[in-house]
Amino acid sequence: LGRTPDVPTDAAALEAAGEKAMSRRARAYVAGGAGEGTTMRHNREAFERWRIVPRMLHGTARRDLTTTVLGTPLRAPLMLAPVGAGELIRRDSDVHIAHGAAAARTPYVFSSQGCNPMEETARAMGDTPFWYQLYWSTDEPLVDSMIQRAEAAGARALVVTLDTTTLGWRPQDLNLGSLPFARGQGIAQYTSDPRFREIVRELLAEALAAGEL
- The predicted-structure confidence for 3-30, as pLDDT tens digits, reads as follows 999 999 999 999 999 999 999 999 999 9
Task: Please choose, from the candidates 98, 92, 112, 110, the residue with its C-alpha nearest in 3D space to the C-alpha of residue 187.
Answer: 112
Binned at pLDDT 50, 70 and 90, residue 61 comes out as confident
- Asked if 136 and 143 count as a contact pair (C-beta separation under 8 A), the reply is yes
Give the three-class secondary structure for 10: coil
Residue 212, class by beta-carbon neighbours within 10 Å (0-12 exposed, 13-18 middle, 19+ buried)?
exposed
Q: What would the mean pLDDT of 75-87 be, rounded to a whole number?
A: 94
Residue 137, class by beta-carbon neighbours within 10 Å (0-12 exposed, 13-18 middle, 19+ buried)?
middle
Question: Is the pLDDT reported for residue 124 higher than 90?
Answer: yes
Distance of CA 107 to the CA centre of its chain: 12
- Asked if 135 and 113 count as a contact pair (C-beta separation under 8 A), the reply is yes
Give the three-class secondary structure for 41: helix
Binned at pLDDT 50, 70 and 90, residue 148 comes out as very high
Which tens digit of pLDDT belongs to each residue from 194-204? Answer: 999 999 999 99
Question: Is the pLDDT reported for residue 140 higher than 90?
Answer: yes
